[in-house]
Structure 1
């Protein structure tokens, strides 16, 4: 009987320990948004990509996130800068330790879609959610009722995923009712004005996948992941589906 009780205690302790590392970082994400510039303009030009790289300067083992409000920007770059800011904030507090090899993986270079961390985040389809699932960074879900301000949200304006998709990488801020119409609020780099908040009728969103940062220390798992995610890499030239995207993200 004592052996059974001890075993039960170990199981409970194991479950508790396993979940203790999962935190709630939504407030931290929202704090980083407040530090981001406002305005500029939306662009996916080569110049905008160069400006993004310079905005996330990595030196002496630390990221310096210095985007300019006058610079062109695009949605996945905007949300990724907030993500890196959150990582650096946790490191500064002593709440997150990542080795140099992992930090180097976070650097924005000219990665192709699906390549490394940034290439996954920036890919067509459910890039961020796929990265979260692959590394175990946090929970993915597609139910608006579960969403909290500070969740990363990939919006699909149509049911197309991949080659012909129309999507938007954002950070969810909440829902509101305007004269009987439900609106969804989010932050990103938006057309045409760049960095800032925007609201759209919920009916305009065909589908959305939410990703909640819970275990940022699992970024270290990138060392054991394939250098290129073949599913995300394929989405530039092939079509996927909402169902397949969900499966690839653990939904």
Structure 2
């Protein structure tokens, strides 16, 4: 009888322990990821890749603001490069929300989205186009959404900065993309993404997971917070200095709120 009571107490205690064990939930699904993927699907294919000054001038022509509407004509941005491609999708997503009357932004905020000759870290486009975690840093400053670096939490439609080497900043080899998911090829894990890719331009690509040294994901949650741009510093000093200095993963995580 004593043994039976002891066993009962142990079983009850174990049950309470298991029942109160901490639960580590995954990140909330992105409310706008599907809309972002719709914009990706509406983008042209091909057009060649080029990170030249001429490509930037074409990018400026591709996104212009007129009569209260952001018009995005990605065919004008050809040839193209990666950060320009993902930024066009970002702008198209914002305009799609406005067209559905799901987002209202004042004129000054909309004009701040325009692509001009911003240097790295300057304004919205200058942050997006910067070395290092430009998009993630912008999301942190304006509280546009979540930043994280765990592939297990990634969802199709997340913005993603790929680092092909351990370098961040001056000597980095990076790629701005939109994450499309994981797949197996010949038993090897591959990462699928969309961007403007070398050499063909706009389109999907799949690379072995092992080729990606590090990645930062940014999930759009609160596009209405773009209205905070008027309170944002004209230039982000961290991103601006990455033109000439190195950074590291710890600093990336600190600067991006991860």
Same fold by TM (over 0.5)? yes
2:25 aligned partner: none
5+ residue gaps, structure 1, are: 1-21
CA RMSD in angstroms, aligned pairs only: 1.2
- Listed as ranges, the matches of 1:110-189 within 5 Å are 110-189=117-196
Contact persistence 1:37–1:69 (CA under 8 A): no
- Listed as ranges, the matches of 1:56-135 within 5 Å are 56-68=63-75, 71-135=78-142
Contact persistence 1:41–1:70 (CA under 8 A): no
SS in 2 for 1:145: helix
SS in 1 for 2:115: coil
Count of aligned pairs between the two proteins:
230
In the alignment, the residues of structure 2 paired with residue 60 and residue 105 of structure 1 have an alpha-carbon distance, to the nearest angstrom, of: 15
In the alignment, the residues of structure 2 paired with residue 202 and residue 188 of structure 1 have an alpha-carbon distance, to the nearest angstrom, of: 17
In the alignment, the residues of structure 2 paired with residue 222 and residue 157 of structure 1 have an alpha-carbon distance, to the nearest angstrom, of: 31
CA distance 1:112–1:213, shift in 2 (3 Å) = same
1:156-193 deviation digits (Å, cap 9, x = unpaired): 00110000000000000000111210000000000000
CA distance 1:157–1:23, shift in 2 (3 Å) = closer
In the alignment, the residues of structure 2 paired with residue 52 and residue 127 of structure 1 have an alpha-carbon distance, to the nearest angstrom, of: 18
1:131-157 deviation digits (Å, cap 9, x = unpaired): 001100000011101000000000000
Tell me which of 206, 216, 219 is aligned to 1:199.
206
2:4 aligned partner: none
TM-score by length of 2: 0.87
Contact persistence 1:40–1:69 (CA under 8 A): no
2:246 aligned partner: 239
In the alignment, the residues of structure 1 paired with residue 103 and residue 77 of structure 2 have an alpha-carbon distance, to the nearest angstrom, of: 32
TM-score by length of 1: 0.90
In the alignment, the residues of structure 2 paired with residue 35 and residue 122 of structure 1 have an alpha-carbon distance, to the nearest angstrom, of: 22
Greater Rg, structure 1 or structure 2? 2
